[in-house]
Structure 1
Amino acid sequence: MTPDNHLAHDLDGTGPLLVAVHGITENRGSWDPVDLRRHFRVLRVDLRGHGDSPRIPPYGIDESVADIHGLLESLGEGQTPFVVGHSLGGVIATAYAARHPTRGVVNVDQSLRVDPLPAEVAATVRGEGFADFARTLFTSLYGELDPALVADIERRHTLDRDVFTGFWTPLLDWDADALAAWSRRVTTLPPDVPYLSLHGTDPGADYADWLTDRIPTAVVEQAPTRTHYPHLARPDWFVSRVHRFFGLPDHLPAAEADAPR
């Protein structure tokens, strides 16, 4: 356990700094099959309430952005990071770039177009039906993922209703206007930040138009495997795609790799 509200983390690799943010109920070990350290100096974090990080409410997007930025400052990292996030981590990566200098974002299979949940669903999530709801939700997302990978994901899952509902507060408690205003704020990025929205599931035929209206630099792509976990289904492909999207040469000189930007 880390002291106070400092996030549990690890930092490894050489090259430009990249922050990797996991999805809800997971932890930084979910990135184990994805060796981004080939091209980046990778900071993997356990979000608040996840993994080895403290279980200190409130749990939410804004709190996570502040936690990650505070961790970078405490580590004395002078580089402006790339940020890669899966699922909930994709929202956090986007929100981070809306608030702090960021060299680029990859959002893995997380639509930013959201609507309030119906009252009966919200009641289930907050009530005794939470565990069944969460298991059904995740099962629906596996798609074409190899069963061995599914087993590994399920082994890493930690279902905590307080943490889950804290991060889902916008969907559970806000009305459509409040949620739309939040979405607009989260997607207001500086005009020069590269943004890749990489989907293993279908975000909708008009999602690319919706997203580029809000993030003009956004590129929306479909991954080769139909699953919410395309980075785990094809990790070598995913690492190569991230590296190419950020436009980095195969071998950066040490001085250039470590230089702030």
Structure 2
Amino acid sequence: MDVANPEAGLAHDVEGTGTPVVLLHGMTFDRRTWRPVVDELDGSVTSIAVDLPGHGGSSGRPTRLEEVVEQVHRLLESLAVERPVVVGHSMGAAVAALYAGTHPARGLAMVDQATEIEPFARALHRIAPMLRGPAFGQAWAAIENGLGLDRIPEPVRTLVRDAHTVEQDVVLGYWDQLLTTDPAGMQAWIDARAAGIRAPCLAVFGRQATEGERERVGRMPDAQLEEWVGDGHFVHLVDPARFATRLRAFVDHCDHDSDQRGDQGGAVAGEPVAGQRS
């Protein structure tokens, strides 16, 4: 089912039955990048692939990450989805982690991105004038060269390129907090919200994780970190069957954990959503 939700304004696909699994793409891509994984899941879960604001079929321009989280939450409420497993790639992993830290979630899976943000924020601060000016294209090309798109086999690589649209205002919208906040302060903001995560966590990297990434994943309850070295940033698409198999196993683990806890897991009860006052 392919729809654009009139309330939340987020286009999405819903397929399969069983445990709800929300799939969030990386910045400048859209929900179509999850198609190879959804095909491999073969209906074994209820997959909900979402176009984040300003991507694919979703309108709007983001201003703060917590607002993106709230749009995703409103969409899930409209679908009567409670306590999903939230899966995010790249920037989508940051959104997924913030969601799991501020709303009840059955599980959190992060793909080639953890909650360590400070080194990346410092790098963005160094090139901020280029990102904000006419040299944006040059700066973005350098960033994109490090994504490892060439490691994705065909025909998936073509699908990913077709699902790729770069708009300066969208990029600057998603990176506004990173570019206007002291990197250490931004890291503290992320850490405070990630501290609310109470569900199992899986982090899959296509490289060796940094010490900071390892340390922050290790703070999460029931955390599993895997390094599929050599697969690169799109680790979930180099071998979609392998990733789907791992994701299914993680969902089963989350279901078992949920049964053991009597559905009491998720974000800390009563914790205010980021950006709101209690």
Matched, 1:171 2:178: yes
Partner of 1:94: 97
Partner amino acid, structure 2, of 1:130: F
1:39 matched to 2:57: no
**1:48-74, CA deviations, whole angstroms, 9 ceiling, x for partnerless residues?**
1110111x2334321111011101111
1:81 matched residue in structure 2: 84
- Unaligned runs of 5+ residues in structure 2 are 265-278
Instruction: Supply the RMSD in Å over aligned alpha carbons.
Output: 2.6
Deviations 1:40-94 (A, max 9, x none): 101111101110111x2334321111011101111223x3211111111111111
Q: Which residue of 1 aligns with 2:25?
A: 22
Unaligned runs of 5+ in 1: none
Give the 3-state SS of the residue equivalent to 1:141 in structure 2: coil
Give secondary structure in 2 for the equivalent of 1:80. coil
* Offset of residue 29 of structure 1: 0.7
Give distance in 2, aligned partners of 1:46 and 1:171: 21
Q: 2:159 is matched with which residue? A: 152
- Give the counterpart letter for 1:30 in structure 2: T
Q: CA deviation at 1:145?
A: 3.0
- Secondary structure of 1:34's counterpart equals helix
List structure 1 segments (4+ residues) > 6 angstroms apart after TM superposition.
Answer: none
Contact 1:212 1:218 in 2 (8 A): yes
Output the TM-score relative to the length of structure 1. 0.86
- Alpha-carbon contact 2:24-2:96 (below 8 Å) kept: yes
Give the TM-score of the pair, scaled to structure 2.
Answer: 0.81
State the percentage of identical aligned residues.
32
Deviation for aligned residue 1:34? 0.8
* Residue 135 in structure 1 maps to residue 141 in structure 2: yes
Distance 2:139 2:158 in 1: 18
The separation in 2 between residues aligned to 1:73 and 1:57, in whole angstroms, is: 21
CA distance in 1, matches of 2:12, 2:154: 28
Please tell me whether the aligned partners of residues 109 and 200 of structure 1 are also in contact (alpha carbons under 8 angstroms).
Answer: yes
Partners of 2:158 and 2:143 lie apart in 1 by 15
User: Relative to 1, partners in 2 of residues 1:235 and 1:198: Cα closer, same or farther, differing over 3 Å?
Assistant: same
Output the CA distance in 2 between the equivalents of 1:239 and 1:201. Answer: 18
Change (3 A) 1:42 1:148: closer
In the other structure, the counterpart of 2:228 is: 223
